[in-house]
Amino acid sequence: MSRQEILVNVYTQLRNAGFVYNKGDFAHQLNYDPCHISSAFSGSRTISDKFLARIHQVFPQVNEVYLRTGRGSVLETVGSREYTESLSLGLFRDSYLIESLLAERDSIQRSLDRVNHLIDMLSRQNMKSAS
């Protein structure tokens, strides 16, 4: 199995498990430029041992043997310490994302309330001047 195929499989499994949301998020978590990641996926850039080690460092739930050889399961099996720790990290990230989205929703709602208030004021003003 080629390193490119291994990368695609690892990314797909991480995305399906909710550890990454898209390739941009994958690049961000690895602290790599998205163009570098895109080149690795397309095969126009060689995937180094250092890059694969970085994937395992950031995502310890990825089976290190799979990263090196393409053999075995992509993710550690349920019950292993690495899998449990990574699952906790994924839940933390999801919780953080939910909190961030709720805060953003509240901010948008406050802005919408202000806009509606201004529209009401202008409507009343226009009704008074039309009378």
Q: According to the model, what pLDDT value does residue 17 have?
A: 85
Q: According to the model, what pLDDT value does residue 65 have?
A: 87
**pLDDT for residue 93 is more than 60:** no
Q: b/e for 20-29, b at 16 or more Cβ within 10 A? A: beeeeebbeb
Sort 109 into a burial class: Cβ within 10 Å, 0-12 / 13-18 / 19+: exposed
Question: For the chain, what's the residue count?
Answer: 131
**pLDDT for residue 23 is more than 80:** yes
What's the token pair of residue 4?
Answer: 């490119």
Strand partners, 9: none
Mean pLDDT (whole number) for 66-92: 67
Q: According to the model, what pLDDT value does residue 90 have?
A: 56
Q: b/e for 68-100, b at 16 or more Cβ within 10 A? A: eeeeeebbbeeeeebbeebbeebeebeeeeeee
Cα 72 to Cα 118: distance, rounded to the nearest angstrom? 61
Question: What pTM was computed for the model?
Answer: 0.59
Residue with more model confidence, 77 or 107: 107
Residue with more model confidence, 88 or 49: 49
